Structures are given as structure tokens and as C-alpha cells.
Structure 1
Amino acid sequence: MTITLYHNPACGTSRNVLAMIEEAGITPDIVLYLKTPPSREKLAELAKLTGGPVRDLLRQKGTLYEELKLADESVTDDAILDAIAAHPELLNRPVVVSPLGARVCRPKERVLDVLPKI
């Protein structure tokens, strides 16, 4: 089973999700999204795969979120995708993609939705 993890090794939740995937006996493909940011098109695809609102991909902490006024509910999905594409640190991590679906894994237990049942 191929699993892709959009990962930030400096993030405790991201490290925990990686450990949970590895404990399931899977070595994921790791995308260090701060070094190799996903394209806007890839972000739109991830949003679609998660089945949730685009806003779920948006990290809602930090000064950049505030400076760009992204808390305003009138900010469109397109504007959110543009902001994340321009500033990858705005990606809410970790994001896990598997044949069973995709999830923004906050809380970390959400990864269990897309791992094979043992």
C-alpha cells in the first residue's frame, strides 16, 4: 500500500503520525512540503481527496495567518489555495494520502481512517 505523508519533521503531530504509519508496517513516501511545496493544483486535489472544506487544509495559527486575514469566513476557497501555494507554512499538517482516502491528521488519530485495518 502506497501512503504519502506531507510532513514537517519539526512538528510533533507530524512526527507522531509518521510513527503510527511505521508501526502499521508501512514506509510512507514523505513529502517535506516546506522544501518541495505542493502546487496549487496538488493542493486542490488534496482538498478534494479529504472530502472536507478547503479551509481544513489551512493552518490557523501563526502571524502569517493573521497578517493575511485568513480567519475571515468570506475568504474564498480559491484564495485559501492561493495563500497556501504561496506560503507552504500555511498547510495544516500532517496530510496523509492512501488508497483508502486522505486526511488532515489533526488530531493524529485521524490517520487510522486511511491505514489498513490489522
Structure 2
Amino acid sequence: MFQIATVILILVIGFFLFKGNSLDSEISETDTELWVMIETNDYFLSQSELQIENDVIELIEGKGLGESDGHSSGAHQFDFNFYNVQNFSQAKKDITDLLNSKYPNLNYVISDTYETTFDIIN
């Protein structure tokens, strides 16, 4: 009887240790979003804006900092966003570094909410 109780106790402890370790390795879900709004000269996006978006997606998803949610364009603004952002400050810094080094003349805003910073309604 004592041996059965010992085996059960060991199994229970092992289960909780395994479960705890597996939860630590998973990315936690967050409500944090990150938006990148870029000023464009045209009403709709061009191939160059799509390249910028792809560069940023590779950076953020490659580092596990967030997941791409899509893009939109119009009224002289191109924007795209990420959800489940793990570290907003780090993601914003990394994106800023990338955009400033690769696209130094780009006019953009990074925020945790959608903004119509560059929209021009004619």
C-alpha cells in the first residue's frame, strides 16, 4: 500500500513539474497591439510599402515579439499592425531602428492604437 501511494505521489509531482515547465515555454497571450502608420504620396499603396511591411514582419515575428494582423491603405496613409505583442517597447525600438536605417526618409508613427495621422481627405 505504501509503495502504491509513493508511486502516485511521484506521478502527481512529475505531472505538475512537467505542466509548469511547458507553460513557461509557451508565448503568453496579450491584448497589446502595435500599429505602424506610414505617410504615402499616393492614395493607395505601392510595392515599396509592401516591402517595408514584409521587412518589419520578418523582424517582429522572427523575434517572437508579435503576430502580423494585416494592412490597409488609402487617403495618403499605409498602415499595418501586430497583435499579441509580447514587449511593446522592445518591438517599437526594433522597428524604429530598422526603419531609420533602411528607410531614412520615411515618415511614420508607431503606436499601440490605430491613428489617422497622415490621412488627407480631399
Query: Which has the higher Rg, Structure 1 or Structure 2?
Result: 2
Same fold (TM over 0.5): no
* TM-score category (smaller protein): under 0.3
TM-score, scaled to structure 2: 0.25
